[in-house]
Structure 1
Amino acid sequence: MSPTREDQHWMYCNMVTSRRFEEAIAKIYFEGKSPAFNMANGPIPGEMHLSDGQEPVAVGVCAHLTPEDVVTATHRPHHQAIAKGVDLDKMAAEIFGKATGLSGGRGGHMHIFDADVNFACSGIIAQGMGPAVGAALSRKMQGKSGVAVAFVGEGAVNQGGWHEAMNLAAVWNLPFVCVIEDNAWGISVSKETSSAVANNADRAAAYGIPGKRIEGNDPYAIHEAAGEAIARARAGNGPSLIEVETYRLAGHFMGDAEGYRPEGEKDALFEKDPIPKMRARMIGDGMASEEELDRIEAEAAARVDAAIKFARESDDAAPEDALTRVFAA
């Protein structure tokens, strides 16, 4: 089923919000890191992984989710967090290491956690699989509604933990969906040199569950496939596997020289930027006017500006609090 007009406006809004947020973070990230790049300097220290180009995966899936549903994400989580409804002000503050952040500035951008919308992520490859399957199991055992979705990269599928979690999800017939974001690169290692199969969706057959691959980073096709998989999970019919061909328009991390990319690859990917493509399709299909989309873009920019302002003006996390709340009570 194609997304409704309302769905498309929501999807476009969240894609644009994610992109504007990433652009703002990228600009601020380099403050204090020149002329010699040192990731420890500036208002946002440490590594930074941007999700520019991968926005369709997040909105196509999360359009079908509620705050009660669980999402685990990767070290490249901003698009998924925004689509799941994570508080943007608090997420920005967390990235800046501020006391007003989601975890009081302790987690940073690779450990976004928002219990209000059941969202979490981790910098460890495939780490979100176990918690997501566990969340699905808890709901089944307690007779509660809700599904769990784990977003992973194509490189995570080669981890033992991924296979163990997929096997248990299938054995226990859990309300679980695994979404693989195939951006073709695991850091600097290409998928073709690290994976024995071309399509990871084919691995679903090993667990006796449905598997589907979506080509072309298409938010409409992702929305349709995710809708089917999530409805199947809600109906008690077990897990599904979805792999999406998507595009990483940035490097693996900020400061990545990207010397491993073939010449011309990145230019070709920018020509496939999903945001202008979706804008053109919505206008062409009569689902939105240029004025409506201009307004959505302006509102998204204003929302991001407000979140960045909140983060910059918030108090730094106090050093003496570093060891508090490390473990939940």
Structure 2
Amino acid sequence: MTATELPDLVGDRVSLTPTERVELLRQMIRIRRFEERCVRLYSAEKIRGFLHLYVGEEAVAAGLLREIGPEDAVVSTYREHGHALVRGIPMSELMSEMFGRASGCSGGRGGSMHLFDAGRRFYGGNAIVAGGLPLAVGLALADALQSRPAVTVCLFGDGAVAEGEFHECLNLAALWRLPVLFACENNRYAMGTALHREHAVTDLALRAATYGLMAWPVDGMDSEAVAAAARRAVQSIRGGSGPCFLEMRTYRFRAHSLYDADRYRDKAEVERWKARDPIPRLSTELRAAGELDEQDLSALEAAAEAELDDAIAEAEAGPREPVADLTRHVYAERP
């Protein structure tokens, strides 16, 4: 599959109530508005450093992470704002982290690329491509050795498939039958390199299956299809069948980061994918089914904007870390 081709995936869709479907839409709207506001804040120099946006990929986070519980673990990438929001980290703590405030979820030290919340078992945010895979295998091994009925969800991009850690981790996870759900967000570009220019075999689910674990592709622009695949995978893992691999075929509408000129892909290609935008796709379906009207949709939008306004106000008022504390967390502290 080349970068310009759209996925032709009809896969199953999970059976959700109208309330649950509206919740999927709500979460996607929260992510989209958070990302859009971050662009404005970045332009105003209130957010510094690198900024990798999730615009277009919201269906993956909303559909996937709804299928796990608080006892499960999540290991993410540097494009993790959406994952963190759906996982339940308060928007105020995320925005404070973006602002570099001590009230942020990582104490203001991580910024956009290193969101972390041990209490919610959200283990990053990792700036290294494929760097989260060994962490996920380690977390799953620890859970297995202590007989904890937990699943570790490991999110990563298609670029990670070219790294040695990917192959080592899938092999070990399959060999030891570890409770890991490997979730590849295949957005067709590893930074600026198209999938077909990096991989001779572009069916990433097929490649993963060679390690002896259940693997299949999913329409990553359909939140209900993602939820169905995630439910099937999580149930299989909890049943003791070992790890699973989901190839979420999705697309990012914006550049790799705000430092990226985005000259490596055709604008017409981007527009074709925008026609599959998961947010209007689901809202249209909900309205057609009589499960949502314009007033409901406006309320969802207004709630997201109000949540953002509160989060930004809290971030701007948040404390900066004292200079005297800058050497903390380098070494373990005595009790």
Q: TM-score, normalised by structure 1?
A: 0.93
Q: 1:187 aligned to 182, 185, 191, which one?
A: 191
Do the aligned partners of 2:59 and 2:220 also contact (CA within 8 Å) in 1? no
Deviations 1:136-164, CA, capped at 9 Å, x for gaps: 11111111121000000001011100111
In structure 2, distance between residues paired with 1:65 and 1:105: 27
SS in 2 for 1:177: strand
Q: Please report how far the alpha carbon of residue 245 of structure 1 lies from its aligned counterpart in structure 2 after TM superposition.
A: 1.1
Q: Offset at 1:261? A: 1.1
The unaligned stretches of length 5 or more in structure 2 are 1-13
Q: What SS does structure 2 have at the residue aligned with 1:112? A: coil
Q: What displacement does 1:216 show?
A: 5.7
Which of 91, 95, 99 is the matching residue for 1:92? 95
- The answer to whether the aligner puts 1:201 opposite 2:214 as a matched pair is no
Ranges in structure 1 where 5+ consecutive residues have no aligned partner: 32-41
Distance 2:205 2:274 in 1: 26
Number of equivalenced pairs: 319
1:275 aligns with 2:279: yes
* 4+ long deviations beyond 6 Å: none
TM-score, normalised with respect to structure 2: 0.91
Distance 2:34 2:25 in 1: 14
Counterpart of 1:138, as a letter, is A
**What amino acid sits opposite 2:142 in the alignment?**
S
Taking the aligned partners of 2:285 and 2:294, their CA distance within structure 1 comes to 11
Secondary structure of the structure 2 residue equivalent to 1:150? strand
Q: CA deviation at 1:131?
A: 1.2
Match of 2:28 in 1: 15
On the 8 A contact 1:106/1:322 being kept in 2, the answer is: no
Q: Which moved more, 1:114-123 or 1:280-289?
A: 280-289
What do you get for the CA RMSD once the two structures are aligned?
Answer: 1.4
- When structure 1 is superposed on structure 2, of 266-275 and 172-181 the one drifting more is 266-275
Looking at structure 2, the residues matched to 280 and 327 of structure 1 have their Cα atoms a distance apart, in angstroms, of 53
Counting aligned pairs with the same residue, the percent is: 37
Q: Within 2, Cα distance between the matches of 1:303 and 1:230?
A: 31
Contact 1:129–1:161 (CA under 8 A) maintained in structure 2: yes
My pick for the range that moved more, 289-298 or 180-189, is 289-298
Please identify, of 20-29 and 254-263, the stretch whose mean Cα deviation from structure 2 is larger. 254-263
Deviates more, 1:289-298 or 1:96-105: 289-298
Q: Whole-Å Cα distance in 2 between the matches of residues 133 and 256 of structure 1?
A: 32
Q: What does 1:112-123 align with in structure 2 at a 5 Å threshold? A: 112-119=115-122, 120-123=124-127
Cα deviation code 1:280-313 (max 9, x no counterpart)? 0111123333322322221122111111111111
How far, CA to CA, are the matches of 2:278 and 2:331 in structure 1?
A: 40
Alpha-carbon distance between aligned partners in 1 of 2:220 and 2:232, rounded to the nearest angstrom: 19
